[in-house]
Amino acid sequence: MSTQQQSLEAVKDYADGYDLKLDWLDTRGEWGIKATPDARKGLTLEDIQTGSYGEVPDHTDNMTGRLRGAAQREGAYRTGGYTVRTKSDIWLTNAAMLYEEALQRQWSSATDIPWDTIKPLPDDVERAQCQLATFLTEVEFVAADVPGKWVAATSPDYFEPRMFLITQIMDESRHLDVFRKRAFANGGGLMQRPDVTTSGVVGSIDLSKDFTEMSSRLHISGEGAVLTIFRMGELMAYNEAEKYMYRLCGQDESRHVAFGVMHMRYLAETEPERKAEVHAYLDEGERALVAGNQNPAARDTAQSEALAVLLGGGQKHYDEGYKKLLAIRKRQSREYIQRIKSAGFGERFENGRANPELMEYAKA
């Protein structure tokens, strides 16, 4: 008998003498687990996915808040109204990795943005910056607000995607505050709110009936379009502060988009019978990409006009800026197509289902 076992038996003997119950000492998950940290990354979530603790159930009836692998307790109260209890409804293979990356790449809008580099701008340019900031403030609020609903709805057995969504809420909250700060940092303020951002985006995203529907609209269509804008931020930045804003927001947004792509890929591989359903979500998302207020580069919106002013260098160079805006739309379309192909739904671009206007932008 090992020293540890001898000590345990001694504790039990002592408890028996005083009529104490220590049954919980024998109620545990798999024992003898020793996770080994990576020399460079440290001890990550992936490192502790070992033995039975790394076995994710395809379906769970766990409604008690018990984390995966912990021993069940008879008579435990139901503590959650978890509606996401099927693995394919929320799973992706690299949620743990994306979570770890999010932890390592946090930044502060207060101290990591060189606000002192912002200098007075021509009035039309400042108004355009503030219009774009107003739009981004509102859509980032939506992108922070929506995932919280699904965090609470997901079983603890699928804690990895839950934890990633919590980092997304933090990321999007920071995006909201950095663009709001930009609106107030140079003598401007908030401008016209997008006409249908809350009714359109929240109406279609927040009222989604399941996680995959929400993710296809938020991560794939909505955040994918904004990610392209962030990647092209150098073209419409007038100082180092704005360049930093777009770069840092872009690195966060790329994680969120990757989450959506990998979830859709997992769903396509494990439940191909749901592909027709997802294609219907993508139909709606593509319409929004070309003509919806959730895309700042979509046609005929206040924010697309603001982008043209910024890209051209002022209102009098609007036509030149509009040409650059068309280049952004082209890049948005091409990146979207590549994203959907990577997720396993590329057949829509071969069978004619994809939005014709979107395809024209991609060819232009």
Percent of the chain with pLDDT over 90: 70
pLDDT above 50 (res 66): yes
For residue 111, the Cα-to-chain-centroid distance in whole angstroms is 23
Domains, the chain, with CATH or none? 87-363 (1.10.620.20)
Task: Give the whole-angstrom CA distance, residue 6 versus residue 230.
Answer: 61
Q: Which residues lie across from 84 on neighbouring strands?
A: 154
332 C-beta neighbours (distance < 10 Å), count: 27
pLDDT above 90 (res 301): no
Task: Give the whole-angstrom CA distance, residue 212 versus residue 83.
Answer: 13
Instruction: Express each pLDDT in 320-358 by its tens digit.
Output: 999 999 999 999 999 999 999 999 999 999 999 999 999
> For the ranges 7-21, 156-170, 290-304, which has the lowest average pLDDT?
290-304
- Please provide the average confidence, as pLDDT, over all residues in the chain: 90
pLDDT above 50 (res 138): yes
Task: Give the whole-angstrom CA distance, residue 203 versus residue 188.
Answer: 30
Q: Residue 198: which pLDDT band, with cuts at 50, 70 and 90? A: very low
Task: Give the whole-angstrom CA distance, residue 140 versus residue 223.
Answer: 9
Task: Give the whole-angstrom CA distance, residue 18 versus residue 119.
Answer: 76
Instruction: Express each pLDDT in 145-178 by its tens digit.
Output: 999 999 999 999 999 999 999 999 999 999 999 9
> For the ranges 23-37, 74-88, 331-345, which has the lowest average pLDDT?
23-37
What lies within 8 Å, CB to CB, of 21 at 6+ separation is 15
Q: What per-residue confidence (pLDDT) applies to 208?
A: 87
Q: Which residues lie across from 154 on neighbouring strands?
A: 84
Q: What per-residue confidence (pLDDT) applies to 294?
A: 59
- pLDDT (average), residues 181-208: 76
